[in-house]
Amino acid sequence: MRLAFHARGGAVLATAIGASRAQVAVCDLAGEILARAGFSVDLAPGPEMVLTSVVRRMGKLLAESGRTVADVRGVGVTLPSAVDVETGRSVSPAVVPGWGDVAIADHFTARFPGPVRVENDVNMLALAEQRRRPEVDDILVIKASTSIGAAIIGNGRLQRGALGAAGEIGHIKVADAGGAVCRCGDLDCLEAVASGWALTRSLAASGREVRDARGVADLVRAGDPDAVRLVREAGRRLGEVLAGAVNLLNPALIVIGGDLAYAYEPLVAGVRELVYQRSSAIVTRTLRIAPAVLEEEASVLACAGMVLDQVLSPEAVDVALSATPAPLLG
């Protein structure tokens, strides 16, 4: 029996939920986007409202793309939080109150057929970057957006840590932060002085009309001197923390993504200054720093790819074929 791959024979749903914005997409089995939407989210009220809104958008996009729930083969979800990839639950305690130990996967399993994969957003960014750069085995990936997080590719493998919380650099304490209060409730975290959330507050207090990290980057690209200065200083703060990580991990490449990376030049200038100043010469001798893929659809494409890897794995295909009735011969 001769088989051919039929990309339109099903669909996967993908959502990349960020600290202030979410992307939702319907993709075919080749990973091509059939329909996509982005919208603002507020994580503070808790997961129920956000996840319900995501499910509603998924239903609308299925209809727009001419698909039904019966066509769904799986769902991929990324969150700005540590997750247990085996159970599909967020890890507790969570940085954002109310998001710890939540059965994220169950929320989608109850509404759509197929497997549900849940992953941390920065880990997903790291896996996407690894696919783009298969020749690099050791990568430190940074997402600088509303919040700040990291992911580690070591010896070609994603390093999750004992509880799936590796890379929580946003809540490392930094010197001379002046008792800045972080969203997590603690003082002097990196995020309290260098995240998109912190920079937005500073610029808004000075009279700028800015609502989020992307707005901060837009001000930088427009040449606003205060925005340029603040982003460069944020880069220095980030570089201060990364210097320790570089000494510890000896990555070949640092990749910087997230909304603040749209203001790449001043951000990376600050990072580079402190990393090279405070890391040992041997670990920076061949170190490279590069931008991540910045297209908004990249996050949902990577998320869809995570599901397709499972749905189209040899094992899954064998199971599907064994369940297919044999053709009648006559």
* Residue 306, domain CATH: 3.30.420.40
Same domain? For 202 and 306 the reply is no
Lowest mean pLDDT among 85-94, 162-171, 319-328: 319-328
Nearest to 230 by CA among 253, 213, 249, 252: 213
Same domain? For 144 and 90 the reply is no
Asked if the structure places residue 35 within a domain, the reply is yes
What is the extent of the structural domain holding 90?
Answer: 11-114+295-322
Distance CA(142)–CA(279), nearest Å, equals 17
Asked if the structure places residue 286 within a domain, the reply is yes
Same domain? For 282 and 196 the reply is yes
Same domain? For 267 and 315 the reply is no
pLDDT digits (tens, 9 = 90+) for 35-78: 999 999 989 888 999 999 999 999 999 999 999 999 999 999 99
pLDDT digits (tens, 9 = 90+) for 178-217: 999 998 889 999 999 999 999 999 999 999 999 999 999 9
Asked if the structure places residue 327 within a domain, the reply is no
Same domain? For 43 and 150 the reply is no
Same domain? For 284 and 312 the reply is no
Asked if the structure places residue 247 within a domain, the reply is yes
Nearest to 48 by CA among 130, 110, 2: 110
Asked if the structure places residue 81 within a domain, the reply is yes
Give the CA radius of gyration of the chain. 21
Is 105 within 8 Å of 118 (Cβ atoms)? yes
Distances (CA, A) of 81 to 130, 149, 193, 197: 20, 9, 20, 16
Domain count within the chain:
2
Same domain? For 272 and 229 the reply is yes
pLDDT digits (tens, 9 = 90+) for 95-129: 777 898 999 999 999 999 999 999 999 999 998 89
Is 90 within 8 Å of 82 (Cβ atoms)? yes
Same domain? For 144 and 56 the reply is no
Same domain? For 88 and 171 the reply is no
> Which two tokens mark 246?
């570089």
**pLDDT value of position 8:** 72
Distance CA(208)–CA(191), nearest Å, equals 20
Which residues on neighbouring strands pair with residue 151, listed in sequence order?
Answer: 141
Task: List alpha helices for 190-330, DSSP H.
Answer: 190-194, 196-205, 213-221, 225-249, 264-278, 281-284, 296-311, 314-322
Same domain? For 218 and 192 the reply is yes
**pLDDT value of position 297:** 75
pTM for this one?
0.87
By three-state DSSP, how is residue 291 classified? strand
Give the count of alpha carbons within 13 A of 157, CB side only. Answer: 4
**pLDDT value of position 316:** 73
Total length of the chain: 330
Same domain? For 24 and 161 the reply is no
Same domain? For 277 and 301 the reply is no
**pLDDT value of position 312:** 85
